[in-house]
Structures are given as C-alpha cells and as structure tokens.
C-alpha cells in the first residue's frame, strides 16, 4: 500500500483576519490523536458535529471535503476556486464564515472560516483506512505553542508561559520563518557528497521523509538507483515523479543517513505557487523521530529525540498501492462454553444438546489493489490494479489494518508474502518476494 504522500494546498484567494483558536483552560489542553502512515488525525467538532481531520502544517486554511452521512449547518457561504499540487488546474468549492470549531475539551474557535471542497475525488479515507473529513492547518498553530508527542500520541497546546518554558528543557531550538502561513526551516541536503543549505517546508501532511524539487536545485542529479513512482494524491489530482535515497539530511546537529526522497515531476508542480528559494519539504517520516514543539508566535521550532530516532528508512518493497474499500459483514465462529441442562420427562432425564460454537457477524475492512508499479514484485507476480484481496499470508484480509499491511510490505529483502486475489469472479494465489527497489549506493 502506498502511504498518502501529500496534501500541500494553496487557495487562490487571500487570507482574512481571524481571532483563531483560544484555550479556555488557564494552563494547557491535551488532545489525543491517531497516527496512521505517519499522518496525524485529530477529532474536530464543527457546529456540533463530530468529525476527523488531518493536522497539516502545510495548509493555511481549514478544509472540509467529506461528511459521510452527517449534516452540518453552515452560514455565510460564497463560491470560490482552489488550485494546488497535482495534475488538474481548478477545483470548485465554497467558503463558509463564522463556524464554531472545537478540538478537545478546551481548544476552540468561535469564528472559524471553513473551505468546503465540492469534488468527491478529494477524499483520502481509502488510503488511511478511517473516515477522514477534512484538513486543519495554520489556525491550529497560530496563537499558542503546540507540542506533538508521537510516542504517546498526544498534542499539548500551552496557555501558560511559565509551564511552557519549563517544558523546553532538553529541547533544541531552531528558527523558522512563516511564509504564506506555513513554517520553513533551513536544512542541509547532501545528495551525494556536497551539503547545501536549503529552505524546506515543515510539512505534517506529508508522510514521506523528504521531498525535493529538482528544477529548483542547482546541479541536481538523480541518485541511482531510482524509480518512477506514484507519489500520492494532491489537491488537483495524482502526483507522479521519482524516488531515490540521498546521502544525508541535516537539521542542525541532527543527522539522518540515507533517507528516502520523493521528487515530483514538473507537471505535478505547475499549479503550485512556491515561496522564494524553497527547495522541498521535510515530512513526518523525519518529524516523527522527535517530540516537536511549533511556536508560531515566536517563530521557533523545538526538537527532542524520541526512541524512534534511529529507525531505518524503509520503503514498501512490493510495488503495491492498496486501498480500503469500506466495510463488510463477516461471519466468525466463536467458541461458547456451556453446561448441559438436565430435566425430566415422564420420569426420564432429558439432556439439552450442548452447543460449543456460535456465529458472530462482525464488520471487517475490505481491500483492493489501487495500483501496482511496473516491474515491481507485485507486477512480476501477476497482481494488477482492480484486484480484490481475499487473504494475505492465508489470513483473511479483514483481519488486517492498512497500517499492518504497510508494515508487512516493508519486511527484509527476500521475505515472501502470499496474496489470495479475486479477479473476474475467480480466485488465484500470488506469491511476492519483497526487494528494496532503491537500496542506497555510494555515488550516482
């Protein structure tokens, strides 16, 4: 399964002044989140309706693109158009002002502007396996320091200066700039043997380690080996480009060896308005290795290593892009412990039949193949786009989450993974042998 790679959006209209989020608690508020495929999902309540949003520092608005079967009353609506990263040019939408948004118990904005996307294809729930209704960006970080702890999966928003300063012990500060309401950091990019300081977007909505824009980097050369790949879904369509590894990434004294880098093609970038001198993005595959604090009011980022700092940079070695196709009822056999019942009929004992098993019907996820990269292990094995997954390693597909499937497809080279596939009403068995398509090699 592909990770959902990016949702770096740009609205073609200006930003209007808002009071933003405030904390009612005098000290802080803590917000739990889900971490799926390196992306952060938070509970958001809009005008009394509970939803789930992606938290994304790479957007400067609050975007809504799916309500499922829920209804929300919006006020002050006007038509607008969006443009951004992807293949197509414009997407129609609505702007709604003066909405009440609550995140957690004490974090709320009583006059939030929400941008509603009217294109049903702008929905990535199938890529993460949970219902996702929208994206929240700049306003979440605007007024308060925000700490993200990837290990405990909790966000802390601070409202007390003294308590916040006490928290900064053992953190390393880095200056950031806020341009178009997005945070940028100077990082060192070493493609092969030359380190270059580069302005990089700090992008929580990007599940990769690094994105680079080759056309904007002097003397850029694609490291070998590299692959042509689908990089993810953007605001205006699918994003394509290359993947390879770079030698090192530097954030101050923090050094990352051989991180994976995605490089979108020029066509995918044509509608994206980039700030001057930007060279790419640092995504959540890097940021998740720290406890991080964004302090927008003081334009500072704080980093502290967590236990995952030295994790290797692994890639999905199968070539598969697997998507969630909703839920279905499955029949599970459950053992039931019973005691025989004894009665009498006409003086003779009668024993009730002992039933040791019963059937439970449980909602389980369904999965299908959204794509299979040419010449990859899945392609060689014979799996194709549109195939329905019945079993993985002889276990029902519904027993897996998308995250577990992703982890399985990153196992060491030579690992065999068996898929039972349904195609045109017939089932077949396919065996994949995992192999890293872009192992790092010195030189070009």
Residue 188 is assigned to a structural domain of this protein = yes
Question: How many independent structural domains does the chain possess?
Answer: 3
| 246 in the same domain as 364 | no
| 224 in the same domain as 162 | no
| 78 in the same domain as 106 | yes
Residue 442 is assigned to a structural domain of this protein = no
Domain boundary among 167, 192, 217: 167
Domain boundary among 104, 132, 167: 167
Residue 259 is assigned to a structural domain of this protein = yes
Q: Tell me the whole-structure pTM to 2 decimals.
A: 0.85
| 262 in the same domain as 239 | yes
The enclosing domain of 413 has a CATH number of: 2.30.42.10
DSSP 309: T
User: Exposure of 72 by Cβ count < 10 A (0-12 exposed, 13-18 middle, 19+ buried)?
Assistant: middle
Residue 1 is assigned to a structural domain of this protein = no
Residue 315 is assigned to a structural domain of this protein = no
Half-sphere exposure in the Cβ direction for 224 (13 Å, CA): 2
| 146 in the same domain as 13 | yes
| 154 in the same domain as 53 | yes
Residue 441 is assigned to a structural domain of this protein = no
The residue range of the domain holding 274 is: 183-305
d(CA 113, CA 217): 36
| 107 in the same domain as 40 | yes
B/e letters for 219-236, b = 16+ CB within 10 Å, e = fewer, are: eeeebeebbebbbbbbbb
| 274 in the same domain as 360 | no
| 222 in the same domain as 143 | no
Q: What is the pLDDT along the chain (444 residues), one digit of tens a residue?
A: 333 344 444 443 333 334 789 998 888 999 999 999 899 999 999 999 999 999 999 988 898 887 777 888 887 888 877 655 444 556 678 889 999 999 988 899 999 999 888 766 666 777 777 888 899 999 999 999 999 999 999 999 999 999 999 999 999 999 999 999 999 999 999 988 888 999 999 999 999 999 999 888 888 888 889 898 888 776 656 788 899 999 999 999 999 999 999 998 877 777 677 889 999 999 999 999 999 999 999 999 999 999 999 999 999 999 999 888 776 555 555 555 544 555 555 555 555 544 455 555 555 678 999 889 999 999 999 999 999 999 999 999 888 988 899 999 999 999 999 999 999 999 999 999 999 999 876 654
CA dihedral 49, 55, 58, 60 (to 10 degrees): 30
| 119 in the same domain as 148 | yes
């Amino acid at each position: 399964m592909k990770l959902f790679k990016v949702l770096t959006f740009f609205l073609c209209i200006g930003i209007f002044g808002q009071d933003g989020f405030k904390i009612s608690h005098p000290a802080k508020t803590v917000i739990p989140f889900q971490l799926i495929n390196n992306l952060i999902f938070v509970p958001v309540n809009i005008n009394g309706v509970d939803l789930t949003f992606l938290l994304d520092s790479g957007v400067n608005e609050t975007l809504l693109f799916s309500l499922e079967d829920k209804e929300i009353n919006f006020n002050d609506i006007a038509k607008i158009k969006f443009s951004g990263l992807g293949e197509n040019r414009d997407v129609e939408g609505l702007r709604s002002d003066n909405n009440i948004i609550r995140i957690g118990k004490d974090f709320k904005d009583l006059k939030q502007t929400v941008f509603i996307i009217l294109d049903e294809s702008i929905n990535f729930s199938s890529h993460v396996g949970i219902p996702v209704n929208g994206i929240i960006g700049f306003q979440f970080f605007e007024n308060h320091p925000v700490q993200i702890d990837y290990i405990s999966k909790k966000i802390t928003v601070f409202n007390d200066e003294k308590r916040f300063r006490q928290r900064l012990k053992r953190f390393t500060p880095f200056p950031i700039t806020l341009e178009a309401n997005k945070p940028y950091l100077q990082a060192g990019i070493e493609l092969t043997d030359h380190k270059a300081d580069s302005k990089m977007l700090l992008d929580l909505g990007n599940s990769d380690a690094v994105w680079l824009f080759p056309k904007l980097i002097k003397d850029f050369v694609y490291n070998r080996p590299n692959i042509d790949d689908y990089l993810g879904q953007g605001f205006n369509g699918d994003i394509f480009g290359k993947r390879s590894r770079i030698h090192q990434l530097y954030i101050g004294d923090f050094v990352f060896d051989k991180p994976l880098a995605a490089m979108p093609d020029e066509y995918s970038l044509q509608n994206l308005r980039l700030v001057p001198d930007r060279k790419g993005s640092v995504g959540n595959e890097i940021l998740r290795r720290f406890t991080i604090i964004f302090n927008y009011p003081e334009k500072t980022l704080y980093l502290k290593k967590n236990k995952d700092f030295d994790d290797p940079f692994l890639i999905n070695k199968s070539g598969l892009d697997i998507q969630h196709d909703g839920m279905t009822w499955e029949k599970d056999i459950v053992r039931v412990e019973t005691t025989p019942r004894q009665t009498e009929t006409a003086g003779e004992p009668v024993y009730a039949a002992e039933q040791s098993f019963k059937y439970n019907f449980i909602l389980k996820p369904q999965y299908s193949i959204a794509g299979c990269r040419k010449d990859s292990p899945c392609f060689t094995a014979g799996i194709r786009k549109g195939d329905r997954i019945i079993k993985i390693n002889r276990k029902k597909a519904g027993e897996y989450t998308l995250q577990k499937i992703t982890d399985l497809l990153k196992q060491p080279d030579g690992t065999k993974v068996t898929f039972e596939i349904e195609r045109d009403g017939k089932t077949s068995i396919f065996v994949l042998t995992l192999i890293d398509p872009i192992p790092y090699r010195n030189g070009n």
